[in-house]
Each structure stands twice: as structure tokens, then as C-alpha cells.
């Protein structure tokens, strides 16, 4: 379970890495799978399998995120003097259901991707994530010291 959280963190960290940002600035989409492959040594077959999982699950998650945004907008439209409490509560309940499903699908996606890794790759990812966390903590300390 710890590794699943680490993988999610790895994807976030990879998406925030300098090469990814440079690629985004140039108009391209960062290839998280290629970055992950480089990080832990995924084979071509593993990369293909991970891409399939991400493509399948991210499409469904994206649809649910759009649904959540629409529900949030509906709730915002109820902020007025003649509000409808029943509608607000109904939209809130629906939003809770949708965000719960997003969380479940995201966790399932991470678990399915984790299943593709070998134990050695999991260990390597764990090691790299620890290094990234240490670097981020060091950067935060430096920023705090500069602010004083």
C-alpha cells in the first residue's frame, strides 16, 4: 500500500520535473511513462502495459472530473438569496459520490500499475522517491531560511 502512494507521488513529482515543464512549455505533453521507465528501468512490454492502464483509467477519471466540475458549478449557482437547500444538498451528495469514485479509480489505477513492476523496480522507485522527498524538504528549508 505504501508503494501505491509512492507511485502516485512519483507521477506527480515527474509531472513537475524540469524536463516535463520544458516539454509542456514547448507545447508537448510530458511522457510520464517514459520518465518512469528511465527512473526504474521498465521494459518495452511493461511500458506498453502501463500506458494501456493509464489510457483506460485516465479517460474514465477525466469524465468523472468533468462531472464533478459541473456539479460544483450547479452548487455555485445556488448561492443566492432564494437558494434551494434541497438542490444544494442533492448536488453535494452527488459530488461526494463522484469524488469518491474518482479516488477509488485513481487508487485502482495505481495498484494496477504497481502490479506491472518487478520487486527490484518497486525497490528502486522507493529509493528514488525517498531521494526526491529529501530534495523537496531541503528546498523548503532553504526557502524558509530565505524568507527570514
How would you class 105 by CB atoms within 10 Å of its CB: exposed for 0-12, middle for 13-18, buried for 19 or more? middle
Q: What is the pLDDT of residues 3-59, one digit of tens each?
A: 445 455 444 444 333 333 333 433 445 688 999 999 999 999 999 999 999 999 999
What's this model's pTM, rounded to 2 decimal places?
0.67
φ/ψ of 84, rounded to 5, equals -115, 100
pLDDT score of 139 more than 70? yes
Domain layout of the chain by residue ranges: 2-8+43-115
Q: What is the pLDDT of residues 69-115, one digit of tens each?
A: 999 999 999 999 999 999 999 999 999 999 999 999 999 999 999 99
pLDDT reported for residue 147? 79
CB of 113 within 8 A of CB of 53? Answer: yes
Cα-Cα-Cα-Cα dihedral sign, residues 93, 97, 102, 107: positive
Amino acid at each position: 500500500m505504501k508503494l501505491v502512494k509512492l507511485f502516485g507521488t512519483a507521477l506527480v513529482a515527474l509531472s513537475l520535473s524540469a524536463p516535463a515543464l520544458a516539454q509542456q512549455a514547448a507545447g508537448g505533453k510530458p511522457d510520464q511513462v517514459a520518465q518512469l521507465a528511465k527512473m526504474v528501468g521498465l521494459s518495452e512490454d511493461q511500458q506498453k502495459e502501463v500506458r494501456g492502464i493509464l489510457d483506460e483509467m485516465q479517460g474514465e477519471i477525466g469524465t468523472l472530473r468533468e462531472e464533478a466540475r459541473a456539479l460544483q458549478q450547479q452548487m455555485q449557482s445556488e448561492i443566492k438569496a432564494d437558494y434551494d437547500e434541497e438542490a444544494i444538498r442533492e448536488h453535494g451528495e452527488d459530488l461526494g459520490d463522484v469524488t469518491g469514485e474518482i479516488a477509488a479509480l485513481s487508487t485502482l489505477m495505481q495498484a494496477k500499475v504497481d502490479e506491472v513492476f518487478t520487486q527490484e523496480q518497486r525497490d528502486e522507485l522507493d529509493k528514488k522517491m525517498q531521494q526526491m522527498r529529501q530534495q523537496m524538504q531541503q528546498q523548503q528549508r532553504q526557502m524558509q531560511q530565505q524568507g527570514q
